[in-house]
Structure formats: C-alpha cells, structure tokens
Structure 1
Amino acid sequence: MTDDSDNDTSCDHVDPCGCSPPLLVAMVEIAGLQLSRRECIKGAGAFWGTLALGGLASQALANTSDAKSGTEADVIYSGGPILTMLEDGDRAEALAVQNGKIVAVGELAAVMAQKGPNTELVDLQGKTLMPGFFDPHSHVALQSAKFATANLDPKPIGEAGSIADIQQILKDWIKEKQIKPGGWVIGWGYDDTGIEELRHPDRDDLDSVSTEYPIVLVHISGHLMTGNSRMLDEVGITAETANPDGGVIQRKPGSDVPNGVLEENAGMLVLGHLPMPTPEQAMAMLEEGLRFYAEAGITTAQDCATFQGTWRLFSALEEQGRLPIDLIAWPRFNAVDDDAFDAIVARRQGTGRLRLGGIKLGLDGSIQGYTAFLSEPYHVEPVSGDIVPDKCDTERAERLFIAEDNEALTEEPGADTGADDGFRGYATMTQEQVEHWFRRCDDNGIQIQAHTNGDAATDMLLEAVQKVRAEKPRPDLRTTIIHAQMMRDDQLDVAARHGLTPSFFPVHVYFWGDRHRDLFIGPERSARMDPARSARDRGLKFTLHHDAPIAGISMLKVAWAAVNRVTTSGKVLGPDERITPFEALRAITADAAWQNFEEDRKGTLETGKLADLVILSEDPMTIDPMNIKDIQVLQTIKEGRTVYSATA
C-alpha cells in the first residue's frame, strides 16, 4: 500500500477532465505502472516499456489455430437475414467461414459448395446476421473499472431512480459478490440530479444498507463521492478533519459532523485506504470489461485516452492471448513523450489484436458540464460557482498522466469564458498547441482524434487544419472530430473540403436532450446538435459512438438514438437531423472500420474479410425504428470464434 501522497491524483475541475482520470482509473493506472520493464517487455522494445508487444499474441494465435486446407468451410450460416452492409437492402442467403475469415457469401447454393464433411451448419432460425459492431470511440479502461463496481447509473440509462433504488442495488451487489464483512463496497454512477430526492445519498442512507462494510459511491461526474459511517471511520474523517486544499467535506446541518459527501480533492482522502489492485487484478478487470463489450456485439473496441500504466496492462493481456476482441488505443497528447511518439510512428500500421490508432487531442469539455467551448453564450448561465479550466494542479497527477516533454505545451489552456457577452465555456488547449500537434502528426502520417463538443472548439480545430494544411488537404489521414455535437453548417463545409470525418454522440439527444433544449443551449441549437443528416447531405462519412462509460455500451441504442432523436420525455429533438436505419448501422460497422483504416478487414460481409459477426434477435432494417434499441444480441463471433453467447 502506498501512502496518500503517492496516490493523490486529484485536480480542481468541476467536470471530468482529461488530465486526471476518476478515482478507480487512477487505481488501474497505478497498477499498470507496477509492471516492471522485465515483466512487460521481456526484451521486446520500448514505448512506455511495452510497445513492441503489439500484434505478437494475435499472430501466435493465428499460427496455432486449427487451420484447414482447401476450401472446406468451418461453418456455414443460413436461414435468416444476412446484412452485408455494402448497400441499403443488400442481403445474402448464406455465409461461410474458414480459419477466421469469410470465404463465401451470397446465394445459398453457391455458398454450400464450401461445405465439407466436418462443416458445421448453423440455422439462424430467422435471426439476423451482420458485421460485428465497431466501436468508434469509448474508454475501455474507464468502462471496465465501472463494470467492476455496483452500477448506479440513473434512469433511463441505469436502474437508480431514487435513493431506495441505490440502497437495493448495493444490497444485491453485496450478496451477489459475496463480499465478506469489512470488505469495501464500491458503487459508481449515481447522479443527485437524476434521482427523485434530488440530493446526494448521505452516510445515514448508506448506513441503512450496512455498517459492516465501508461503502463508497462515486458520482457520475467522477468529482464527488459519498460514503457510510464505516467508510468515514476507515479513512479517519471526523468532525475535526479540516477540508483539504481544493476539496470540501460536507457537514450535517448545524454541526461539523461529516454527512458522508466528499467534494473534489476531499474524495482523494479515500484513495490511500482502498485495497489497491495488483497488476494481475487490474488485467483481469480489463479482460472482463472487454467481455462485456463482446456481449454488446462489439468486435472492435477503443480506449481513447490511454496512459502509460494502462497501455502496459493492455500489452500484457495481448502477450498472454487474453484480449477477447480487438482493441485500438489512442494515447492522449499530453501523455506522449518523444520516445512514445517515435514508437507510434513506427507502429502505425499494426494489425494485431491490440494496436495504436494515433494521437488524441482534447480541445474542450462537455456541454452538460458547462465546459464545452461555444461561439455563443450558454442558454442559461451556470450558477454553481466558478468553472475551473482543465489543468492538472497536483504534482502526483502530472507525474502519472503528463509526459515531461509536454509540460511546456500543457501549462495554459486557451480559456475564454466570454465574460463580456455571457458565459461560453472555454478551450482546454491553446491555438498554438493544436497547430503544433497537427504539424507534428501530419509530418509523420499520424491520425488525430480531436475532441470538440462546442462549435468554438471546432473553430479552433478547423483553423489549425486550414493553417497547417493550407491548400493541401490531407483526407488520407482521416482526421476524426470526436463528438462534434455543435458543428455548424459552415464547419461541415470546411470538413468536407478537407476530408475530415466526424464521430457523433447521438445518445446525448436521448439522455440530455431535454436539458440541452431548456437549460444548456436552447431550442434552436439543440435541434441540430449531432448533425448527422447535414453531414450526410455533404457526402461526409461519419460514425456514431456511446463514449462509454458516459452512456453505456449498447451500439444498438446509439443507432436508435440517431434514427429517432427522441428525448427521455418522449419528444423529438431536431427531426431534420434524423438518419435512416441503414445509415446508422453503417456508422457503427463499415464506416467505423473505414474511419479507423480497417475497411479492408472489417465492417462489411465480404469474401476475405475477418469473420467478425453478430447475431441479433430481430432485423434492425425492417423492425419498427423505435424498437431498434430493444433488439437483443444473441451471439458475438470474433474471427470465427464465439466470444459471447446469450445461451451459454
């Protein structure tokens, strides 16, 4: 167990930031850093001690698989809709797989020519077969950590609609996990604004669950937590405990007695007392998290803000052949030193089970956190106090998450709160930083994912693109604008000219749409947020993502949200930006593979491509569009091998 100072990864931000991941992810990062160079690389090379491992395990698996010679298929699927995703309405009668690849797809008679004496024939019984889902943007490490805790997401994403719901979820979790008295009970995702009581569950509420276990609940934002009396006793927080710098210990009314709620840096008092995972435990958690991705029909996932320790864990999993699906890692720019960048350049064409995508930039925050950078003021001004621009302000956080080479480039965000004309949020990078990274990546052929929620942040991105690339667009790099929620028509025009590709976050319309309309950005702007139809009308290829752990990992719910644009109140928000089911499904299969330079291997059902498949309970192309989100994933197949089955 390390001391509290070694575990301090806190910062003063009111919204989740890129420099200091939430509590449990900090624990994972620390576990990864414990892997020694000898344990990680065994003489293989460098990039955070482990880069050269990528691709070895999956290649070894390929070399030792039960390879068959000739044209005899391992399995042939028929008897249900087979959606190739090549064109709207394109369907096949049968599909054959051999050695992890598709060897035939088309009419039943032609495909059956691949049948041999040992070929397995699978009757789909009317169920739908289509390409496995390609996750365009999420955070595997964050989501895996969340899977390892009691899920307290508010309704409709989760089941916690009240404090009573939270209490029952925790009781069920203790029973299910058979936690021994004295063991820590950790929950994640509660939202005081999303439950009936509109307040935090406090120590008394959680004492009603149990006083035998220390209980700690992490807020959905990652910047607050609450706990029971046993937790406060374990940590040593009493009426005499002073508020730490940058944090607040909430008190019961009229007294100094803590009520259990810890704000910002006060929550980090808990970290040094939690049972720290070993590297093997952290690896097991990540492996289990990826199996949940497979359960959602995902055959390629992404970790889009990978830090040093987490990369070590992913690499060790690949070396041991324990990654159930493919994983693309995107190191965040401020965690990449010169050696790491050189290694990314050397490995940008990797095709193993684990590979690097490129560099992740973050230009602003989130709309619902009042930290997205807008060109016009927020509809309703924030009233919760000062909004602190993203900047690590603890030495420990900088040691964990920021490479020394980047300290000079991450000192000052391009903050602009727009005080004269109303609050507009702020940028988290300067214009010079954005241009620096575009030049560096362009010069070395490295793809960029750039997070912009607000349109002013997108303006910064496009200014850098137009300045660095001038009259020589680089569509070959497939620069991806992540979230792109407030992209204006003129910005979509620039993106089309330069071959940029957006990845929209349509679940926002469902989960936060009513609040975006009434509180954050108003009716006019909210009606065209996530402008997928406008992008399609300009010929832009785009993808759709869930940004896990923000809104679950269901790709079908993502597609449903883009097709229907219905909010939690049942109102349609921006009907003109709706897209068709085929367009939505392409955005999580073929176009997602294209966006990530994998269209030659994934995304459509064609001869020679990987047999990355998903079997669904219904046909999403013909079902009532409002029911797409209710379709069940029955089986997920990665390179011909079942990695999830609902009947297993």
Structure 2
Amino acid sequence: MAAAGAAVAGAFPAGTAEARSGPADLIVHNGRVLTLDQHFRSAEAIAVRGGRVLAVGGAREVKRLAGPRTQLLDAAGGTVLPGINDSHLHLSSFGLNRPPWTYDVDKATIDEVVEAVRAAVAQAPSPDSWIRGGGWQELKLPRAPRAADIDPVSGNHPVVLKDFSGHAISVNSAVLRLAGITRDTVPPVGGVIDKDADGEPTGVLRETARNLVQSVIPAFSAAEVSQAIDIGVGLLHAVGITSLTEPGIGLDTLEIYRDKARARRLPMRITALLSGGMAPATVRRILGGYRPAKDVDPRFVRVAGIKVYADGIPRFQTSWMNQPYLDGTNGTMVIDGANTAEQIANLHEMIRLATDAGMQVGTHATGDATTDAVVAGYVKAGGPDLRHYVIHCNFPSAATLRTMARHDIGANLNAEILYLQGRVLESIIGPELTEYQWPYRSALNAGVRVASGSDAPVVAPAWLRGVLAATLREGAAGQVAGEAERITVREALATYTSTSAWQDHAESWKGTLEPGKAADICVVGGDVLEVDPHDLGTLPITATVVDGRVVYERSSGAQGTLADAAALTTSGCSHNGRCCCEVAEEIRG
C-alpha cells in the first residue's frame, strides 16, 4: 500500500505550491483510493478544497494539506472511488415508487397481490381515491394480475398496478370504464390489450396500450414530485450515487429540478434527457417548448438531449428482433407508423430533429433489429460530437458494434437487470441470446464506450451487484449467463464512473479522482479489488461526498450494507416487517 501511495504522490503532487492557497476542506484517508483515471492509479489519501480534488497521493504528503478546520474522513481500510454515476435512473419515478404514492405488489402469488391491494384500500384517504401499485413480475407470478382479481377488493377505487419494468400495467374494471376500453378498442401501434377467452379486455395493457388510460390517471402534483425527488436523493446517497441521468422527463419535472438547483437544494448531479416519445411530432413539441436556463449551474442540472422510445422488452416479446423468439414472433417497434418502413423513417426523423437542434439522443432499443435501425439513424444524422447512445442495447450484432465504435456511439447496459434476471428469459429468447444479452465484453472489445445504468425503479440501484453481474455473469439465483461476456472489476467500475462521465460530456470535470475534478466520492467498506466478487453486494457504503461535502456517513454501529440500502429502493415500503423510514434511519445512523 505504501509503495502504491508513494508512486501516485509523484504523479499527483500534494506540495507546497497548492497548499499556499489554503488548507484542505476535507481529507479522506486510511483507504485504497482508486482514481479510475486512464492509468488506473491508486493512492492512500485524497484532499478536497472548494468542491474539487486538491491532491491525491501518499497519506503523509496529503495530510500536510490539513489545517485546523480540515474535516478528516476515515475510510477505515475501505475503497475510495469517484462518486457513482448511474447513467440511466428515473429519479422522479424512483422516489414516487413507494408509499404513500405507490404500494408494493412484487409478490409471488396473485392472492398476495390482491391482499396488497386490499391493504392499500384500507389506508386510502377517501372512498374513491386512486390506488397505485408497482413491481409485479409476470415470470414470478403464474400470470399477470387481472381486473377480475382486483375488482372484489377495490370497491369504488380505480386501481392501476405497474409491472416491475414499467412496460405493462394491470387495471381494474373501474379504470377500464373511465378510459372507455371495451372489446372493440383497437390498441395503438406497438400496444397489446390482453383479452380473455370471450374477447373481453382482462385489464392488462402492454407497451403503448398503457397510454389508453394515462389521460384518466390523475397526475402527481409538483409538490409530491419534489418531495419524492428529495427522498430518492437521500436513498441514492446511501448507496454512493452522486450523479445520474434522468431519461425521458417532461418540462414540468425539469423545472422542479431547476428550482431545487437555484435554491441549492439539489445535492445530486442531474443530466436530463427530455421525453421525445415515439413520434416526430412529440420531438418537435418538446424542442419547441424547451428553453435553456442561464441561472442554473449546469454541473447540477443539465439538459443533454432527447430520449426516444423505439421498442419494448424481451420479457414481453415486444423487442423487435431479426430472428424470431422461440414462439415464432419477432415483436415490433413502438414508433408511430403504419408499417415497418414508416416506423424506421419516423425514427430517423426524430433523431435528425434532435441532432439538428444540437441534442444528444439516447434511444431505448432492446431488440437487435431496433438497435440496427437506431444506429443507422445516428450515422445518417451525422452532426458534431453529440455522443448519441443506445439505451439497453441487449443484443447488438458484431457488425453493429463495429459501426457504433467507428462513430463513437455509446452503449448503455444494465448489469443490475442482468443480476435480477440471470437465465429466466431462456424460455423466450433461447440459450444463445441468454448467453449474449448485455454483451459487455463484446462491446468493449469492439471499442464501444460502455456505461452502466440501473434503470431504477425497474430494479434497485445496487451498483455493486451490477459489478458482480458484469464480472461473473451470475444472476441472483446463481445461474451463469454468458461466461464469454465477463469483464474485469476494473472495467466494470469504469462503466459506473469515468465512462458515464463521458456519456454526460463531463469527463473533463468529473468521473475520476484527479486534481481539479469534482470532489464527488464514494467510500466502500471493503477492498473491491481483493474481495471475492461474489461478496461485492455485501459490502457497505460508508460515506458519500458530493461537491466536497459529506452528504452521507454510516455510523459505526449501523449494520446496513449496500444490499440493505438497495432494498429501500424497491417499490414497497416494508423491509422485514419494518417501514422503509426505520431502515433508512438505521443505515444513516
């Protein structure tokens, strides 16, 4: 350790020239500092002043920068990393995805889902208030929950239950009536209305068919969204996250973020993609309404571009695939258009509109056919260094990866979802694609820049589980899915830090712990390079620093680990019978 620290001290001098301008505000010491720079240098301590890294190096040299008011943060032998940059996290939804706004219906049986709805009804503020739930999983349940299940316990309450992915909802008959959905209702392009043997809608609406009920579901108020964001930020600090990309938001949510930043009440760096939807008209509308804000620090709230929504997910066989699923279907895109040719033309027009406006484009594309179409659209649009990227990018072909590398098109992969799913999709996509899904190694070998995002609240933002999954290709059940796609722990850490900063056009000022860069720091209670990768998910986050300020510190008596903190981020509130607020207090000490 001493030798490593001495070597880095020479590269990052903590000398008197820097000390003349004043002592450090904060020194993090007694740990293994991984700078995540291009040489993957390590050190023993790091000094911070004015929200920036002042020096990195040996403990003795760095401590010379201390003054009488310098705060000392003991890493206790753990790992000191750049703050984690979750490059795909729906923060506003993440906060709202818990009571009193949303109740947990991630259950193993339909009866348990029904009981959760019954309990929510008992707590409802009025006899006809809306009941929202989230988290059900069709491959966990025997089938999706239906209106016939929910109606007997819901009374006059309209009920809407989101599945864990956000790509399907289950509603009761009250909602079907409010939305005017009958056996004769035609689903929109890319949407599915599940029907029973008699041709009646069951209450399960998939992909764009969800939009049929959106107009009747009351929106959350700005105050509710603001409060939920604050709760979400606190929970993310407890897992070491200091930056995130919020993909697909409206101008109203953007203004909430801006107001918080103006008031200096946003201790989280937000890169936003505005919602471009599924049609050129939506992109034109959002671009027409967007105005840059000169009074907001872009290092805390920055609009990078537009999110386009191109297809569904493999789980529902709504990803558009070149080769069919095992049942012979191929899925389709959800882009507006009467046929595939029109859909591709509209997709490319959406990308062109955003590119011409100088906007980065992140496109949800899970199927390989969709990814091909998206990448072709990026190449066709041309433009300067906008760093367009493919969100999810589950099954890109080798040829498409080469094209992405040649044009510096990024891939945003989801190791945390890989951890959740393992091999559970094998009965849908077959063994070959199960081995290949989220191809980290193939993408890196092709020269593609790979960032990792949790997609929370789809899954918990437990990034060390993501490192585990990317490294071992193991799911929660222990099943291995694709040994050939394994990457190293060092490479996986880069996808959550330095490459995410590249995606944000921010690699010059964040993402690594180099002098002059943002003092965003995550301290892990253990050596992430030496521990058995199977144990990564058990390591605690002991401290989080944003802009040089300690925003989270785990008390010495707390027993919470990253896994415990991540449990708070699921759709439900209870954790071993305790309210999430109780567990949060334990973790925060």
TM-score bracket for this pair, using the shorter chain length: 0.7 to 0.9
Q: 1:200 aligns with which of 122, 145, 148?
A: 145
Greater alpha carbon shift after TM alignment, 213-222 vs 299-308? 213-222
In the alignment, the residues of structure 1 paired with residue 205 and residue 275 of structure 2 have an alpha-carbon distance, to the nearest angstrom, of 26
The alignment partner of 1:540 has SS state of: coil
In the alignment, the residues of structure 2 paired with residue 438 and residue 484 of structure 1 have an alpha-carbon distance, to the nearest angstrom, of 17
C-alpha distance 346-171 of structure 1, shift in aligned 2 (>3 A): closer
1:550 is aligned to 2:439: no
Q: How far has the Cα of 1:312 moved from its partner?
A: 2.9
In the alignment, the residues of structure 2 paired with residue 363 and residue 540 of structure 1 have an alpha-carbon distance, to the nearest angstrom, of 21
Q: How far has the Cα of 1:464 moved from its partner?
A: 3.1
Q: Which residue of 2 aligns with 1:111?
A: 62
Q: Which residue of 1 aligns with 2:506?
A: 598
The alignment partner of 1:368 has SS state of: helix
Q: Which residue of 2 aligns with 1:80?
A: 31
In the alignment, the residues of structure 2 paired with residue 300 and residue 414 of structure 1 have an alpha-carbon distance, to the nearest angstrom, of 39
In the alignment, the residues of structure 1 paired with residue 161 and residue 347 of structure 2 have an alpha-carbon distance, to the nearest angstrom, of 36
1:191 is aligned to 2:141: no
* Residues 329 and 357, structure 1, Cα contact 8 Å, conserved in 2: yes
Q: 2:418 aligns with which of 509, 526, 551?
A: 509
* Residues 135 and 301, structure 1, Cα contact 8 Å, conserved in 2: yes
Q: Which residue of 2 aligns with 1:134?
A: 85
AA in 1 matched with 2:169: L
AA in 2 matched with 1:519: I
The alignment partner of 1:317 has SS state of: helix
The CA RMSD over aligned residues, in Å, is 4.0
* Residues 389 and 413, structure 1, Cα contact 8 Å, conserved in 2: no
Q: How far has the Cα of 1:524 moved from its partner?
A: 1.9
Q: Which residue of 2 aligns with 1:638?
A: 546
* Residues 244 and 266, structure 1, Cα contact 8 Å, conserved in 2: no
Q: Which runs of 5+ in 2 are unaligned?
A: 1-18, 554-586
Q: 2:287 aligns with which of 326, 340, 352?
A: 340
Q: How far has the Cα of 1:93 moved from its partner?
A: 1.0
C-alpha distance 413-285 of structure 1, shift in aligned 2 (>3 A): farther
Q: Which residue of 1 aligns with 2:340?
A: 415
Q: How far has the Cα of 1:174 moved from its partner?
A: 8.8
1:289 is aligned to 2:232: yes
C-alpha distance 341-499 of structure 1, shift in aligned 2 (>3 A): farther
Q: Which residue of 2 aligns with 1:360?
A: 307
* Residues 246 and 266, structure 1, Cα contact 8 Å, conserved in 2: no
In the alignment, the residues of structure 2 paired with residue 298 and residue 509 of structure 1 have an alpha-carbon distance, to the nearest angstrom, of 20
C-alpha distance 218-132 of structure 1, shift in aligned 2 (>3 A): same
Q: Which residue of 1 aligns with 2:272?
A: 329
AA in 2 matched with 1:493: R
1:369-397 CA-to-partner distances (Å, cap 9, x unmatched) read: 222222222222359xxx78636xxxxxx
1:165-180 equivalence runs, <5 A: 166=113
Q: How far has the Cα of 1:252 moved from its partner?
A: 11
Greater alpha carbon shift after TM alignment, 374-383 vs 300-309? 374-383
The alignment partner of 1:336 has SS state of: helix
Q: How far has the Cα of 1:526 moved from its partner?
A: 2.6
In the alignment, the residues of structure 1 paired with residue 500 and residue 222 of structure 2 have an alpha-carbon distance, to the nearest angstrom, of 32
Q: How far has the Cα of 1:341 moved from its partner?
A: 5.8
Q: Which residue of 1 aligns with 2:346?
A: 433
* Residues 390 and 413, structure 1, Cα contact 8 Å, conserved in 2: no
* Residues 134 and 298, structure 1, Cα contact 8 Å, conserved in 2: yes
C-alpha distance 465-114 of structure 1, shift in aligned 2 (>3 A): same
C-alpha distance 164-344 of structure 1, shift in aligned 2 (>3 A): same
1:19-63 CA-to-partner distances (Å, cap 9, x unmatched) read: xxxxxxxxxxxxxxxxxxxxxxxxxxxxxxxxxxxxxxxxxxxxx
AA in 2 matched with 1:355: R
* Residues 590 and 603, structure 1, Cα contact 8 Å, conserved in 2: yes
Q: Which residue of 2 aligns with 1:7?
A: none
Q: Which residue of 2 aligns with 1:456?
A: 369
1:152 is aligned to 2:104: yes
Q: Which residue of 1 aligns with 2:42?
A: 91
C-alpha distance 280-122 of structure 1, shift in aligned 2 (>3 A): same
Greater alpha carbon shift after TM alignment, 312-321 vs 534-543? 312-321
C-alpha distance 587-343 of structure 1, shift in aligned 2 (>3 A): same
In the alignment, the residues of structure 2 paired with residue 376 and residue 236 of structure 1 have an alpha-carbon distance, to the nearest angstrom, of 35
Q: How far has the Cα of 1:354 moved from its partner?
A: 0.9
In the alignment, the residues of structure 1 paired with residue 161 and residue 309 of structure 2 have an alpha-carbon distance, to the nearest angstrom, of 27
AA in 2 matched with 1:538: A
1:144-194 CA-to-partner distances (Å, cap 9, x unmatched) read: 33234455364xxxxx3334654676788799xx76575655321112431
The alignment partner of 1:193 has SS state of: coil
Q: Which residue of 2 aligns with 1:162?
A: 109
C-alpha distance 190-578 of structure 1, shift in aligned 2 (>3 A): same
* Residues 181 and 212, structure 1, Cα contact 8 Å, conserved in 2: no
C-alpha distance 555-88 of structure 1, shift in aligned 2 (>3 A): farther
Q: How far has the Cα of 1:107 moved from its partner?
A: 0.7
C-alpha distance 180-514 of structure 1, shift in aligned 2 (>3 A): same
The alignment partner of 2:53 has SS state of: strand
1:203-282 equivalence runs, <5 A: 217-220=161-164, 221=166, 223-226=168-171, 245=185, 261=203, 263=205, 277-282=220-225
* Residues 532 and 579, structure 1, Cα contact 8 Å, conserved in 2: yes
AA in 1 matched with 2:496: I
Q: 2:388 aligns with which of 474, 479, 485?
A: 479
1:467-492 CA-to-partner distances (Å, cap 9, x unmatched) read: 444xxx95x33221222211111111
C-alpha distance 111-315 of structure 1, shift in aligned 2 (>3 A): same
AA in 2 matched with 1:514: R
Q: How many residues are aligned here?
A: 524
In the alignment, the residues of structure 2 paired with residue 251 and residue 338 of structure 1 have an alpha-carbon distance, to the nearest angstrom, of 34
1:397-436 CA-to-partner distances (Å, cap 9, x unmatched) read: xxxxxxxxxxxxxx416537xxxxxxxxxxxx73333443
1:499 is aligned to 2:415: no
Q: Which residue of 1 aligns with 2:4?
A: none
Q: Which runs of 5+ in 1 are unaligned?
A: 1-67, 155-159, 392-410, 417-428
In the alignment, the residues of structure 2 paired with residue 143 and residue 305 of structure 1 have an alpha-carbon distance, to the nearest angstrom, of 13
In the alignment, the residues of structure 1 paired with residue 55 and residue 339 of structure 2 have an alpha-carbon distance, to the nearest angstrom, of 53
The alignment partner of 2:247 has SS state of: strand
* Residues 163 and 205, structure 1, Cα contact 8 Å, conserved in 2: no
1:442-469 CA-to-partner distances (Å, cap 9, x unmatched) read: 5554322233222222222333344444
1:528 is aligned to 2:436: yes
Q: How far has the Cα of 1:94 moved from its partner?
A: 1.0
Q: Which residue of 1 aligns with 2:73?
A: 122
1:647 is aligned to 2:578: no
Q: Which residue of 2 aligns with 1:28?
A: none
* Residues 88 and 582, structure 1, Cα contact 8 Å, conserved in 2: no
AA in 2 matched with 1:328: T
1:545-596 CA-to-partner distances (Å, cap 9, x unmatched) read: 2222222222222222211112354221110110001100110001110121
1:565 is aligned to 2:473: yes
C-alpha distance 578-266 of structure 1, shift in aligned 2 (>3 A): closer
Q: How far has the Cα of 1:244 moved from its partner?
A: 7.9
Query: What TM-score does the superposition give when structure 2 sets the normalisation length?
Result: 0.76
In the alignment, the residues of structure 2 paired with residue 496 and residue 317 of structure 1 have an alpha-carbon distance, to the nearest angstrom, of 37
C-alpha distance 338-153 of structure 1, shift in aligned 2 (>3 A): closer
In the alignment, the residues of structure 1 paired with residue 60 and residue 109 of structure 2 have an alpha-carbon distance, to the nearest angstrom, of 57
